[in-house]
Every structure is written in structure tokens, then in C-alpha cells.
Amino acid sequence: MRPSKRLDLIPPYLFAQLEKKIADKKAAGIDVISLGIGDPDTPTYAPIVAAMQRAVADPGTHQYPSNRGRQDFRAAVAAFYQRRFGVTLDADSEVMPAIGAKECIFNLSLAFLDPEDIALASDPGYPVYTGGPLLAGAGAVLMPLKPELGFAPDLDAISDADAERAKLLFINYPNNPTGAIVPDGFFEQVVAFAKRHDILVVHDNAYSETTYDGYVAPSFLATPGAKEVGVEVFSLSKGYNMTGWRAAAIVGNADAIAAYWKLKSNVDSGLFEAVQLAAVEALSTEVDKDVAAMNAVYTRRRDLVVEALRQAGVEVTAPKGTIYVWAPIPAGYENSAAYCEHVLEQAAVVISPGGAYGASGEGFFRISLTTPDERLVEAVERIKQLG
């Protein structure tokens, strides 16, 4: 057996490796608390489950779905974008379902990159922004997110050569892993940069519905000119507790969506229609109160974690969005991986090393808030006791 050389270019997926470690420890009777992956711990909201139950009982949903998606799914996404973000979308040409944002982001690299091309990728960032281009046989150039710029990249620092070779630019706000929200004026800068260099912007909108303290996250597409240069990948995973269902949509530039459709129709056969119907329910106003209640839970957990870390002398900013707290590792560790390994071995708590999200994430760790309050408190106490 000889796997491709391409596969050697990427590291094993962080959470796939961790799963094994956690399973081994649990099998050895150790009480492991995982604050690693961002996977909501509470059930999908009841109206969505009920819609799925109805949909799955209808044999009309059982056959191959079309990659273009059901008309009612596309209309529901367009209506949601209008009411939620003030963005007008043509449901026929500017909306398509995806089997999760991860699939969509990966397939955009296959659809847009040739070997001589690069993607500009937020650093730290969701690993697929770099893994996707490499698996597509192209390159990725990291754009460090600058704390002093509100965790935005400095677009002026991108060399002309990189800007000319770049065909894709991946950004994400509210941001995983830093928890940052988009700084004022940044999306406008991105539109101008993308127009100047003929780049497709991919705004990964995985966390717009998961925000706190009254903050309401915008869509990139609400920025003037954004639809000419970009697409947004909207995921239902986090905001609706639907990680296991695999439900997302790509919205925005019609030509980019047509290219994605051409690629995708050769790769998979579309999103299960019953899941599309459940997503229609998720995007209705019926579910708004569930989203608000969930965000109240995350606000409470965020405050618990931030307070405990501050008591332990860790300087940490309370995020206004996402399900993550991003904090500096204590002094005395070689790197974030060494610190996280130490916490796992000594406290049986899983946290994510910032370096796994890119070079600029080094020196930080990420805590996911998707664990019940008591366990979260216990985990942070264990970390505090390590000193």
C-alpha cells in the first residue's frame, strides 16, 4: 500500500489523534474531562428534531438528493440571510447546501486551486484552511492574526508576489480559535484587497449565532461589494447544536457557487433531504428562543472559566462570540503542545494547543465551553492546582 505523497504534507488531524488518547485513558479508568473539540454537549433543539422525525418518515426524502439542494432549503437560507443579516440572496443561484462547512471549505480548494496557486489562510485558523490547499496540490500562505489589530491580519503585509499567486483567502469571524469578533472596517479592507488582486474571499461563518453580551455578528456579505468577490460558508453545527447532522450552506457569488457545484457533483451526492428539511426548521423564527437560551448557557460558562483563569493569574479576554476561551500558556513550557500534554497527563483535562492552529497560535491554549458547568468548573480547578 502506498498512500499519496500529498498525504504526507499534512499532519494528522488534531482531534482525531486526541480521540485515541482520551479513549485509552478512559479505558484505564481515568476520569478525563475534555475541553478540546467544540462540539455542543446539549441536544439539538426540539423543533428541529421534530421536523427531522417528520421528514425522515416521508419516503420522498430517501433517494439521492440533488447537489443544488431542495428549493425550500435554498429559500429558507435566503429568507434567513435577509431577516438576520439584511443580505439579499437569489435562492436559485446564490445558495447551495453543503455537508458541513468542513467539506465545503475543503472542496473550495479543489475547485479553485492549481499547483502554482496559493490560498491565504488566517493564522491561527481552522486547520482546513491550510490542509485543503495542500491536499489540492497547491500551497497555503499564513496571514498572522495580529492581537494589536483585533486579531485581524495585516493585509498590507502580504507580499505582492503572494497576493498575485493567491486565488483564495480564508477568514472567519467570530473567530476560532481566538474568540475575536471582526474589527470595524476589516471586511471593507478585505473586499478592496480581493478586488485589487482578483481573489475569491471565503468567509467561514461558523459562529455568527453564538455571541454574547448583546453582540450581533454581521455577515461578510453585508459589506458593500462583498458578493462580487466572495462567498460565505454558513454552518448550522454550532449555533443549532447540529454538529452530527452535517448541515451547512454556501452563499454569495453565483459564479463561485457554480464552480463549487461542478466540483461537488463529481465528488458526492448532496445533503440528505431530511436534514435539509430539518435545517429549514432551524432557520425559522421558531428556534430563535432556543438559540438565545443556549447563548445564555455559554455566557455563564464563559464567565466561570474566565473568572477562574483570572484568579489563577492568567490574563484572558472574555470572548464576545464562539464557544472558546483563548489564553496564554504559563511560563516554563517549551510550547503549547508541551503544556497541553502536561495538563492531560497530570490533570486528565484535554485542552487544545494554540500551535495546532498555526504558528501564530503558539504560546496559547484553547478551552471549549461545550461541557456541563460542573465539569467545566472541576476541569479549571484541576488546571489551577497544577499551578
Ligand X SMILES: Cc1ncc(COP(=O)(O)O)c(C=O)c1O
Among 70, 102, 203, 301, binds ligand X (CB under 6 A): 102
> Is the separation of the CB atoms in 339 and 330 below 8 Å?
yes
DSSP 322-346: SSEEEEEPPTT-SSHHHHHHHHHHH
Least distance to ligand X, CB of residue 172, Å: 5
Binding mask 106-145 for ligand X (x = CB under 6 A): --------------------x-------------------
One-letter amino acid of 258: A
Binding mask 192-231 for ligand X (x = CB under 6 A): ------------x-x-------------------------
370 scored as a contact of ligand X (CB under 6 A): no
Least distance to ligand X, CB of residue 115, Å: 25
Going across the sheet that includes 152-153, the strands are 95-98, 248-252, 230-235, 200-205, 166-171, 118-123, 139-146, 152-153
Least distance to ligand X, CB of residue 337, Å: 19
Residues 6+ apart with CB under 8 A from 39: 243, 368, 370
Strands 118-123 and 139-146: parallel
275 scored as a contact of ligand X (CB under 6 A): no
Nearer to ligand X, 101 or 138 (CB): 101
Only segment of 97-105, 141-149, 181-189, 302-310 that touches ligand X (CB under 6 A): 97-105
Only segment of 63-71, 94-102, 327-335, 358-366 that touches ligand X (CB under 6 A): 94-102
In angstroms, the first-to-last Cα distance of the chain is 47
Strands (E), 213-253: 230-235, 248-252
176 scored as a contact of ligand X (CB under 6 A): yes
> Is the separation of the CB atoms in 242 and 236 below 8 Å?
yes
Nearest-CB residue to ligand X? 100
DSSP state of 268: -
DSSP state of 379: H
- 285-344 positions binding ligand X, by CB under 6 A: none
371 to 47, 123, 273, 323, 380: CA distances (angstroms): 23, 26, 30, 10, 12
Binding mask 231-250 for ligand X (x = CB under 6 A): ----x-x-----x----x--
Nearer to ligand X, 67 or 235 (CB): 235
167 scored as a contact of ligand X (CB under 6 A): no
Nearer to ligand X, 126 or 261 (CB): 126
Binding site for ligand X (CB under 6 A): 38, 100-102, 126, 172, 176, 204, 206, 235, 237, 243, 248
